Amino acid sequence: MDFLKRLIAENPRLLEMRFREREAVCEPATVPFAVRLDGVGFGKRLKDFPPPRSRLVHNALVEVAKSLALTQGADYVHVVSDEINLLFFRAAPYGGRTFKIISVLASQASAELTAKLGRPLYFDGRVIKLRDNCDAASYVLFRARVGLNNYVIQLARGAGLIREYTPPIEDMLKSVVIEDYELAWGTFMRREDGFKKGVDMCSALSRLCNVC
């Protein structure tokens, strides 16, 4: 698949270094920026759901992400594994007050997902400064690549393919079967589409920047 090849071409370690240094620790947050909400201890709290990732949990996360985007004014959403990424281009909620953005959005996501799945679930959050549309597309590729990497490792571990060391992802992909690519690299939604699910990520990201 074209998008699979595109993700494999990215080096997640280099992307981690690029975006880690831009996590906002000061006020105010100015557009464009991303808010990443990460599930806290989801592996233990959701261990009764099918591994490596549950379609039911993913769908619940997507609905929570859409609700957050609509109420807080995000323009793009990416959901993968236990994380929700909201990208803001037009305006920053709460006047750009970074700590309020983080605390309110993490609290809202926690409350809504808890209600949907019927158990206490929590998120932490961070704000990541983005430079422009192409930087935003690279950020989504980064999170999709990390999501794919973790998903393939879980599949390989479940198949007994990982012992003393973790093989390169290119080698693991030859020995595992990905039945649901959306669970592997995530769901991407745009305000201009009414946050409709099921869009092709490569095509959608290319509307931001020619990355595919």
Please indicate, yes or no, if residue 29 is contained in any of the structural domains: yes
- The per-residue pLDDT for 167 is 87
Please indicate, yes or no, if residue 54 is contained in any of the structural domains: yes
- The per-residue pLDDT for 27 is 76
Per-residue pLDDT of the chain (212 residues; tens, 9 = 90+): 589 999 999 999 999 999 998 887 767 889 999 999 999 999 999 999 999 999 999 999 999 999 999 999 999 999 999 999 999 999 999 999 999 999 999 999 999 999 999 999 999 999 999 999 999 999 999 999 999 999 999 999 988 888 778 889 999 999 999 999 999 999 999 999 999 988 899 999 999 999 88
* Residues pairing with 188 in the sheet: 78
φ/ψ region of 96 (left if φ > 0, alpha if ψ in -120 to 50, else beta) reads left
Please indicate, yes or no, if residue 172 is contained in any of the structural domains: yes
Calpha distance 12→5 (Å, rounded) = 14
Asked whether the beta carbons of 61 and 82 are under 8 A apart, the reply is yes
Residue 190 host element (H or E): strand 187-190
* Type of residue found at 2: D
> How many other CB atoms are there within 10 angstroms of residue 138's CB atom?
20
As for how many domains the chain has, the answer is 1
- The per-residue pLDDT for 1 is 57
Residue 30 host element (H or E): none
- The per-residue pLDDT for 87 is 98
Task: Find the domain containing 75 and state its range.
Answer: 25-206
Bridging pattern class, strands 83-88 and 76-80: antiparallel
* Sign of the CA dihedral with 158 first, then 3, 64, and 105 last: positive
Instruction: Note if the pTM is more than 0.95.
Output: no
Q: Which two tokens stand for residue 52?
A: 């490596």
Asked whether the beta carbons of 117 and 28 are under 8 A apart, the reply is no
Please indicate, yes or no, if residue 6 is contained in any of the structural domains: no
Please indicate, yes or no, if residue 110 is contained in any of the structural domains: yes
Please indicate, yes or no, if residue 122 is contained in any of the structural domains: yes
CATH number, domain containing residue 131 = 3.30.70.3000
* Sign of the CA dihedral with 56 first, then 121, 51, and 169 last: positive
Please indicate, yes or no, if residue 212 is contained in any of the structural domains: no
Q: What is the separation of C-alpha 4 from the centre of its chain, rounded to a whole number of angstroms?
A: 16
